[in-house]
Structure 1
C-alpha cells in the first residue's frame, strides 16, 4: 500500500525545545507524557512497516515560539540529507500572524526549499478542556493584515479550528480566494455527544466546502475516539469525503500523536477498508494524488 502522508510531526528533544513537552500532561487528545521522547524520520519510517510512504508533509510541532524558523531550518537539513527521497518533502511552518514580526518570519520560512505553507492553531472553545488559544485570531485586524502576505510567498494555510469557527473561516477563504486552505483533522469534531454538536460540524464542513479553495485532511480522528474501530471512524470519513468530494480530501496519519491509540499500519488499513469500494482513481486521489497536488510535491 502506497501513501503520501500529509500530516506528521517530528521532534528532537535533545537539540530543540517544544514547550508543550516540557511538562506534558493528560488532555482530551491523550496522555502527552507518552510523547516525551525523540521522534525522528527513521522512527516513523520504521513504524510504517508494510505501508510504503512515498512522501511526507511535516506540520509544525509547536516548536519554541521564540524561534519558529529554527524548526524549519532543522527540517530542511533533514530533507537535504535524505537524498533522493527528500523527506519531509513539504514543510508547513509556524507563524503567529498577530505578531509584529510575522512578515519577517514568513519571508524567512519561505526561503527554505521545502516550505509550502503555514499553520497557526486557531481552536477556541467555550469549554476550557477543548480551548487551545483563547483568542479569536481571525477577528484581529493585524492578524488579517499579515494573513494576506501568504499569497506573496505562495504559501497555503493549514486550518485547525472547531466547527463553531467554520463560518468565519469560510469568510476568510472567500476574501483570499487565491490562497489554498487545508482543514486539519476533518474539522476537529469534539462536540459529538449531542444532536446540535453533530449538526454544527456537518453544516460547518459544508460551509467550508462551498469555497473552492478549501481542501480537507482526514486525520487526527483517534484524538477524539481513543478506542476507535473501522466502524466508529467510517461515518466521519465518508461524511467528510462526501462533503468535500474525492478531489479535495486526503488521508493523513497525524503521527506520532495518533500513535497513542493505534499503529501506523492499522490506521492506514482502516482508511483502506472504509473506501474499499471506491474506484482506483478515487483511491489514488485520497491516498496520494491530492496531497501531492495541494502541497506541490
Structure 2
C-alpha cells in the first residue's frame, strides 16, 4: 500500500526540549510515559513495515514554546540530510502562538525554511477541564484572531485541532478568512461519545465546517479515543467524516507515534483500506495520497 502520511511527529529528546515529555503522565489519550523516547524518520520507516511511505507531513510536536522556530530548523535539517534515503518530512506544520505580539516574527522565522507549509496552534477547550489542552479560548481572543489573518500573507495553512463544541466558532473564522486553508485534525476529536447530544454535536459540527469551502479534514487520531479499536469500531467515524466532507476534501493520516500506543502502523492503514474497500480507485487515491499532496503542496 502506497500512502502520503499527513500527520506524524518526530522528536529527539537528547537534543531538544519537549515540555510534555520532560515529565510525562497518563491522560484520556493514553500514557505519554510510553512515548518518552526518540522518534525519528528512520523509526517511522521501520514502523511502516509493508506500507510504502511516499511523503510525510510533520505536525508540530509541542516543542519548546520559547523557541518554536528551533523545531522547524531541526526538521528542515532532517529533510535535507535524506537519512535512510528519504527526505522526510516533506512538509512542516510549525508552531506559533498567534496570541503573542511576536507572532509575525515567528511566522517569518518559519518561512525561512523551504518545507514550511502551515501552522498549528492547539485550541482544544472543553466544559470538562479533564479534556482541556490549553488554558484560554484562543478563538475568542481578539489579538489571536487578528494575527490569524497573517497566515494568508505568507501562504500558510492552519491545522485546526479542537472539539465539536468549538466548531461553530471555527466555521466563523474560516468564513472570515476564505483565502486560508484550514485542515481539521483528527476527524474533529469526537470525545463526548457517551451521549446522543455529543454525537449530534460532532456530526453537525463536521457538516458546518464542511460547508466552508476552505476547510478540509484529516481522518487520524481515532485511536486516542478508542484504545482497543477494531476495523468495525473505526468504521462509523471514518464514513461519517467522509460523508460530511466528501472524498475530495478528506485524507487519511497516522498520528504516529502517538497512535502507536494502540496498534501498529500497518494495521491502522490496512483498517482504513478495509473501511473504504468499496471506493473507486480514484477515490482511494484521493484519500490515501492525492488530497494530502495537494493540501500541503508536496
TM-score (norm 1): 0.99
Distance 1:151 1:126 in 2: 31
Q: What residue in structure 2 maps to residue 107 of structure 1?
A: 108
User: How big is the shift at 1:131?
Assistant: 0.7
Q: What residue in structure 1 maps to residue 61 of structure 2?
A: 61
Q: How many residues align?
A: 297
Q: What residue in structure 2 maps to residue 243 of structure 1?
A: 244
Distance 2:139 2:196 in 1: 27
Q: What residue in structure 2 maps to residue 209 of structure 1?
A: 210
Helix, strand or coil: the match of 2:224? helix
User: How big is the shift at 1:210?
Assistant: 0.1
Distance 1:273 1:235 in 2: 13
Helix, strand or coil: the match of 1:118? strand
Distance 2:17 2:285 in 1: 37
Distance 1:178 1:227 in 2: 39
Helix, strand or coil: the match of 2:149? helix
CA displacement, residues 128-148 of structure 1 (integer Å, 9 cap, x when unaligned): 210111211011111011110
Distance 1:266 1:35 in 2: 19
Describe how 1:53-202 pairs up with structure 2 within 5 A: 53-82=53-82, 85-202=86-203
Helix, strand or coil: the match of 1:129? helix
Bigger drift between 226-235 and 80-89 goes to 80-89
Helix, strand or coil: the match of 2:56? strand
User: How big is the shift at 1:19?
Assistant: 0.1
- Structure 1 segments of 4 or more deviating over 4 A? none
Q: What residue in structure 1 maps to residue 263 of structure 2?
A: 262
Distance 1:182 1:289 in 2: 15
Helix, strand or coil: the match of 1:186? helix
User: How big is the shift at 1:247?
Assistant: 0.2
Distance 1:138 1:101 in 2: 18
User: How big is the shift at 1:85?
Assistant: 3.9
Helix, strand or coil: the match of 2:290? helix
Q: What residue in structure 2 maps to residue 50 of structure 1?
A: 50
CA displacement, residues 222-271 of structure 1 (integer Å, 9 cap, x when unaligned): 00000000000000000000100000000000000000000000000000
Q: What residue in structure 2 maps to residue 288 of structure 1?
A: 289
TM-score (norm 2): 0.99
Query: Which ranges in structure 2 are unaligned for 5 or more consecutive residues?
Result: none
Distance 1:110 1:146 in 2: 16
Helix, strand or coil: the match of 1:277? coil
Distance 2:249 2:99 in 1: 29
Distance 2:135 2:102 in 1: 21
Helix, strand or coil: the match of 1:37? coil
Helix, strand or coil: the match of 2:118? strand
User: How big is the shift at 1:165?
Assistant: 0.3
